[in-house]
Structure 1
Amino acid sequence: MTFVPVIPESYTHVLAEFESLDPLLSALRLDSSRLKCTSIAVSRKWLALGSSGGGLNLIQKEGWKHRLFLSHREGAISQVACCSHDDDYVAVATSQGLVVVWELNQERRGKPERIHASSEHKGRKVTALCWDTAILRVFVGDHMGKVSAIKLNTSKQAKATATFVMFPVQTITTVDSCVVQLDYLDGRLLISSLTRSFLCDTEREKFWKIGNKERDGEYGACFFPGRCSVGQQPLIYCARPGSRMWEVNFDGEVISTHQFKKLLSSPPLPVITLRSEPQYDHTVGSSQSLSFPKLLHLSEHCVLTWTERGIYIFIPQNVQVLLWSEVKDIQDVAVCKNELFCLHLNGKISHLSLLSVERCVERLLRRGLWNLAARTCCLFQNSVIAGRGRKSLTVDKLEHLKSQLDLTTYSDLISQLEELILKFEPLDSACSSRRSSISSHESFSILDSGIYRIISGRRGSQSDEDSCSLHSQTLSEDERLKEFISHQEEEQPDQCCSSQGNEGDECVFYWLQM
């Protein structure tokens, strides 16, 4: 009998892909040999995709609705950055070195406007774009080491004053080599080049070199915002050779060096996705001596990076590897909260979420992906039993999950799931009564609010496949987009007023204390 291998208890989080963005790229015609996605950025509202044809597609993340297309005749889009504090602004850099800033005018429902076009880096390769976190200012870095700032006067400001003022582009500095990454926080600009990292106080025009030892190659650096509630100061993390990071204070002083080389000898965790069954190999590999080309602050406590082999997520303050997973051929990654959007070398995009195991399983259950949910539970059973998951992944839910699996097809998986259920001890005496009250009904689903939605009457079988693929390749672009959106709407979680199953099914709602 073949069982799903069990992952050690220390691994509590996972990367999961719940939907494919291939249909979106197909609808936007960004999946051909002639036209493909070349750059990516994300904000609270937008997913921005730059193309080899010079177009910028802005997709509203809620419902994945294609809202805007901005064209540029100055070459392919090499960099794109969304303003984090105002979704109405986006900056792009073209292959010719032109930097264009757009005001989208979404609040006034007007046409997008080019409010600035900078030729400061014309003829050079723009390698980094970064927005100020407080005012409308864009920082630009290129392959020759030049860093400039574009301060913006918007149409909103112009209408409030009698005259329109065009601010000149300011040269911040020129570092010794190609700019690898830019980051900005609370009046400080962080510049990472091929040889070292620099910290700049943009108001006082002061500069510091971070650390004494140089390096040679692409190494990223990022700010790590402090928690104001506990009076914690922001930190800086700078990548170093050999899977190391410097922890740096906000004044640019190196506090400590964190070594992750030996910690990365652990096997990779599987990405939970419909594309393949999750696999885990217990074999411990050799230490990984890696160069981290960029560092990104993710969620609240994490720093993310990637190589040609995979994605790595650290909790640097604890010198801990939260996880690493094999995701091949990544060109760039954009993050927002716990979401990752990975641009691959072939122009494809992966949309991943960093979730605790129990949250991941709950999402799979809501989508009716029974096989994948069961395998994830069994893979991470040590974490599920020992951790917080027992409060949300109750015995009731696991019993229901088991009942959805076909005995002839998934007998091994059912046996392992039964063993997992036996290891659960009810957190309260209400578990058994809840289970007995539900068992008399043929099926139920669990809503986000905690409501158990009971359906009497047999429902049709649910497929483990997401219904987000587009079948027709001959539709017009508008029709393709409409079809994609309609499929995405079908994927939304159940609402209390929605109807599932056959018309004759009787729906009864129960509020059960979780």
Structure 2
Amino acid sequence: MNDIHCLSNFIDYSPSIHEPLKHSNRIKYTCFDISENYIIFGATSGSLYLFNRRVCKFLHLIPNKHGSVTHLEISSGEKYVAFSTKKGTICVYVINLSANSAPQVIYAALGPEVQVTCIHWTLDEKQFYYGDNRGQVNLVVLNSFIGRSLLSLSVHPILFLEQPVVQIDDFESLLLVSNWSKCILCNTEFEEYKQIGNRLRDGPFGACFAMSTNESLTPSRIYCARPGSRLWEVDFEGEVLQTHQFKAALACPPSKIQKTTECETEAMFKYSDENSELLDFQPQTLTFTKLQMLSQDFLLTYTELGLYIFDVRTSTVVLWCNQFERIADCRVFGPDGEIVIFTQTGSMYSVSLLTLQSHAMSLVRSEKLLECSFLLKKNLKYFADKAREDYDLIILNHIKNFLIDQQQYELLNDLSVIFDSIAQNEGDTSSGSSAERKSANSGGVSQRPFEAVDQRAQGVYVLENSFCDNLRVKEKDRHFKDALLTVTGKFGKNIIKYKFNIFNDEQKSLVSDLIPRNERTLPFQHVKDNTDDDVVCRRKLPPSPPKGRHITDEEKIVYNLLLISRSSQISNTNFLERYRHLFDEYTSREIIGILAKLEAVMLEHGDTELQAKQNCYEMYFNYLNPELIWEVDDISKEFIIQGFIVLNANQDAVRCDNCGFPIRFDNSCLFHELGAVLMRYLWSRNEHGRCFEILKDVPALFDVLAKFYMAEGQVEKIIPIVMNYGQPDLLEEAGRGFNLHAWDRCFDKFVALQQGRLSCINCERITLVENVNRHFFYTWNCFLNISSEFLEAKEILALVYKYSNNIPNDAIDREFFTKCMLK
């Protein structure tokens, strides 16, 4: 049957967002946008008000002197906010919540007669489009330099239309522009433009892309609004495929928002039903100004008086709602399709689209049983039909028990048809044992001690005993049972059945309650391979040993380590305590042998050679005390060095043109402490060449080399390391030993770095590198603030003056000069 939907999870953000304006009656919000972490409002004062989305807490005020904000949009990665003002400017704010840096807003003046009508960012955040009241579409490119600390805008007109632009959308190289008279589909790669359809229109009509995740089932399309509550469905060649007409379908009652903050009464529902029967709803002729996809199935639009949600696959109205006054804008946000509404009064609300079934189940889980009872009564046929189809609705039996306890016999009688349907479905359900149905009747909570937690949708079964404190086994026995932590796919108990015969008697006693006695020797090759569709991931299981062959203790350890490794990959935890005691019983050479066998089993289990090596090395390094490097034998030491390189080899580093040594690289590092001990050991033995071999593959250890040079007083060798490593803490530590001459050299190297000329640490040759903008350290402000800690004011100002020709305008904040004057 077709689902019925409702608007639920109502949130009123208005009290929180108006908190910063409570002392001013003059300032009003004019527009907004929402992202994963932020809500940002534009105001009549020209300022932007930035809030934390998750708790709706005010964070930051961004002042702006270019006039009242008219439109704004946050970039996809939340680095920038583009906004326009009434004075005819397009601006970009760089989102930076640091208390030490002033808000950076860059702008381009368009002219007072130009009013921006819409803004749209591209996914890469390097550019955005805007349309204006003249019908012109422009591309704004962000040009960054000095580590993105400074930006500039360049505006490029790309399309000239005769009517104001209403909405802009893009997908890869396709750009969709909708204005008051038509829709234009542009291929920006080949600079081709095509008008969609031949019939013009007159009004603010929107258009959008509707991307599908299953092209064979629902192909991706373009939807364009048309007069008279119609939509064009268009393919990516710009051809109109069909027209969806919603005028007559909108002659239906509006949906009420399901607010569960207050207890609904039977009288309220009865009054609502009587009113709906008395009213005669007429067809609606509407202008859809902005179109947005709500999930991949529905399309959302709005007018000043209401929200409208359509199923474009069937040309039906999902629902419409008129409970928001004077809607100014609307956003669909997040994977769950949260709908955020902003009104002309500056208020903001949020709702979610749910099926009635989902809403009813959420009410039961929230113990709002009376509200759910009246919802069922209002939609008797829907829930009765659903209860015959869906076993999950057995959860509604909680309402039955509640009504009996509350002696609500009349309401219970009204809902009896639903409970009869549930009972009928329960009786007809052949899948699942009676114990499982009993568990479902008790709220879906299993009473069995080793039931899997609810991760079945991902095809992953985790034994609850591994995480539940009150079911945890004794400390000395924990590791055997926990070795069975994770089993993928539908093999949950089958793999344990297979492994039962490899455990010793003590171990068998720990898992005997998992496997019936008659199944404990079940050969693995006889286990049925369950290929249900809901199995998301399945790995190749360890091969069965020849029948009758004795399983050695070492093989048992390898199998245990394999399962622990799989557990750590799924839960992102190393589970060191589960295998530490195993490694404690062996020498380092013996552990290396065990890891070699584990790597072989991982290869059989579906891992690539690199993945297997990395998994084994990570297990060992999590266990290894770095200071033991000084005591292990040379073979073990070489094994550790090779493993460290495998885990941290930087393939993407920019290298010296002369010797191939890394000069620009990512300085993140796994097991950095272990690498530092390795370097100290080799350096102490004067194996400097070996150290540089490691550094060539793992440049993230350059900070360790810099500390060696600090101890030896080799300042000239420290400076290029500090510049290339890009870590302020390292410069601050090294700077304590620099004299004025050394700081002069630092300034010289820093200017060269800004110009893309990097010195090789190995051969000292210069290599030209483009776009040196990876670290926040590469700004003049950061560099000067650190150097000012170790230089007198006159000395640092003299150096600034010396290199002033190489310092861009506005690269240094006035706070720096104030600090120097006070100093």
Secondary structure (helix, strand or coil) at the match of 1:263 reads: coil
Q: 1:341 offset after TM fit, Å?
A: 0.8
Give CA deviations for 1:288-319 in whole Å, capped at 9, x if unaligned: 22221211111111111112332111121321
Residue of structure 1 in register with 2:181 after alignment? 195
Separation in structure 2 between the aligned mates of residue 110 and residue 324 of structure 1, nearest angstrom = 48
Is the CA contact (8 Å cut-off) linking 1:296 and 1:305 kept in structure 2? yes
Calculate the TM-score normalised by the size of structure 2. Answer: 0.47
Residue of structure 1 in register with 2:82 after alignment? 91
Separation in structure 1 between the aligned mates of residue 40 and residue 415 of structure 2, nearest angstrom = 41
Residue of structure 1 in register with 2:147 after alignment? 159
Residue 336 (1) aligns with residue 333 (2): yes
Residue of structure 2 in register with 1:207 after alignment? 193
Residue of structure 2 in register with 1:290 after alignment? 286
Aligned runs of 1:269-284 on 2, under 5 Å? Answer: 269-273=255-259, 274=261, 279-280=272-273, 281-282=276-277
Give CA deviations for 1:314-352 in whole Å, capped at 9, x if unaligned: 121321222222234211101114111111121111211
Q: 1:241 offset after TM fit, Å?
A: 0.9
Deviates more, 1:143-152 or 1:119-128: 119-128
Separation in structure 2 between the aligned mates of residue 69 and residue 371 of structure 1, nearest angstrom = 44
Is the CA contact (8 Å cut-off) linking 2:197 and 2:239 kept in structure 1? yes
Separation in structure 2 between the aligned mates of residue 122 and residue 449 of structure 1, nearest angstrom = 59
Separation in structure 1 between the aligned mates of residue 24 and residue 122 of structure 2, nearest angstrom = 35
Secondary structure (helix, strand or coil) at the match of 2:307 reads: strand
Q: 1:296 to 1:188 in 2, by over 3 A?
A: same
Secondary structure (helix, strand or coil) at the match of 2:313 reads: helix
Q: 1:285 to 1:168 in 2, by over 3 A?
A: same
Separation in structure 2 between the aligned mates of residue 333 and residue 76 of structure 1, nearest angstrom = 20
Secondary structure (helix, strand or coil) at the match of 1:317 reads: coil
Is the CA contact (8 Å cut-off) linking 1:396 and 1:431 kept in structure 2? no
Aligned runs of 1:348-427 on 2, under 5 Å? Answer: 348-387=347-386, 391=390, 394-400=393-399, 403=402, 407=406, 413=411, 415-424=413-422, 425-427=424-426
Gaps of 5+ in 1: 1-8, 439-447, 451-495, 498-514
Separation in structure 2 between the aligned mates of residue 97 and residue 399 of structure 1, nearest angstrom = 60
Residue of structure 2 in register with 1:133 after alignment? 123
Is the CA contact (8 Å cut-off) linking 2:107 and 2:153 kept in structure 1? no
Q: 1:232 to 1:264 in 2, by over 3 A?
A: closer
Separation in structure 1 between the aligned mates of residue 236 and residue 412 of structure 2, nearest angstrom = 53
Secondary structure (helix, strand or coil) at the match of 1:207 reads: strand
Q: Which letter maps to 1:192?
A: S
Deviates more, 1:359-368 or 1:332-341: 359-368
Residue of structure 1 in register with 2:721 after alignment? none
Who wins on radius of gyration, i.e. which is larger? Answer: 2
Separation in structure 2 between the aligned mates of residue 434 and residue 148 of structure 1, nearest angstrom = 61
Is the CA contact (8 Å cut-off) linking 1:11 and 1:323 kept in structure 2? no
Q: 1:414 offset after TM fit, Å?
A: 5.0
Residue of structure 2 in register with 1:264 after alignment? 250
Residue of structure 1 in register with 2:38 after alignment? 46
Is the CA contact (8 Å cut-off) linking 2:44 and 2:69 kept in structure 1? yes
Separation in structure 1 between the aligned mates of residue 309 and residue 62 of structure 2, nearest angstrom = 34
Is the CA contact (8 Å cut-off) linking 2:385 and 2:421 kept in structure 1? no
Residue 216 (1) aligns with residue 202 (2): yes
2:132 to 133, 142, 149: 142
Secondary structure (helix, strand or coil) at the match of 1:152 reads: strand
Is the CA contact (8 Å cut-off) linking 1:30 and 1:36 kept in structure 2? no
Residue 73 (1) aligns with residue 73 (2): no
Calculate the TM-score normalised by the size of structure 1. Answer: 0.73
Residue 238 (1) aligns with residue 228 (2): no
Q: How many residues end up aligned between the 2 structures?
A: 429
Gaps of 5+ in 2: 444-452, 456-467, 470-823
Q: 1:390 to 1:370 in 2, by over 3 A?
A: farther
Separation in structure 2 between the aligned mates of residue 266 and residue 203 of structure 1, nearest angstrom = 45
Secondary structure (helix, strand or coil) at the match of 1:327 reads: coil
Residue of structure 2 in register with 1:24 after alignment? 16
Q: 1:115 to 1:52 in 2, by over 3 A?
A: closer
Specify which structure has the higher proportion of helix.
2
The structure, 1 or 2, with the larger RCO (C-alpha pairs under 8 Å, 6+ apart) is 1
Deviates more, 1:254-263 or 1:12-21: 12-21
Give CA deviations for 1:3-36 in whole Å, capped at 9, x if unaligned: xxxxxx7452111143221221232336974333
Q: 1:221 offset after TM fit, Å?
A: 0.9
Give CA deviations for 1:157-188 in whole Å, capped at 9, x if unaligned: 6428xx97845210122211111111122122
Residue 124 (1) aligns with residue 114 (2): yes
Is the CA contact (8 Å cut-off) linking 1:370 and 1:405 kept in structure 2? no
Give CA deviations for 1:85-138 in whole Å, capped at 9, x if unaligned: x122221112222221122146x8974753631223544222101111234211
Residue of structure 1 in register with 2:308 after alignment? 312
Q: Which letter maps to 2:154?
A: P
Q: Which letter maps to 2:26?
A: R
Coordinate RMSD, CA, aligned: 3.5
Secondary structure (helix, strand or coil) at the match of 1:272 reads: coil
Secondary structure (helix, strand or coil) at the match of 1:403 reads: helix
Q: 1:404 to 1:174 in 2, by over 3 A?
A: farther
Residue of structure 2 in register with 1:478 after alignment? none
Residue of structure 1 in register with 2:781 after alignment? none
Q: 1:211 to 1:361 in 2, by over 3 A?
A: same
Secondary structure (helix, strand or coil) at the match of 1:394 reads: helix
Is the CA contact (8 Å cut-off) linking 2:201 and 2:226 kept in structure 1? yes
Residue of structure 2 in register with 1:433 after alignment? 438
Residue of structure 1 in register with 2:104 after alignment? 114
Residue of structure 1 in register with 2:322 after alignment? 326
Q: 1:260 offset after TM fit, Å?
A: 1.3
Is the CA contact (8 Å cut-off) linking 2:244 and 2:315 kept in structure 1? yes
Q: Which letter maps to 1:423?
A: S
Specify which structure has the higher proportion of strand.
1
Separation in structure 2 between the aligned mates of residue 334 and residue 250 of structure 1, nearest angstrom = 24
Secondary structure (helix, strand or coil) at the match of 1:364 reads: helix
Residue of structure 1 in register with 2:162 after alignment? 176
Q: 1:18 to 1:231 in 2, by over 3 A?
A: closer
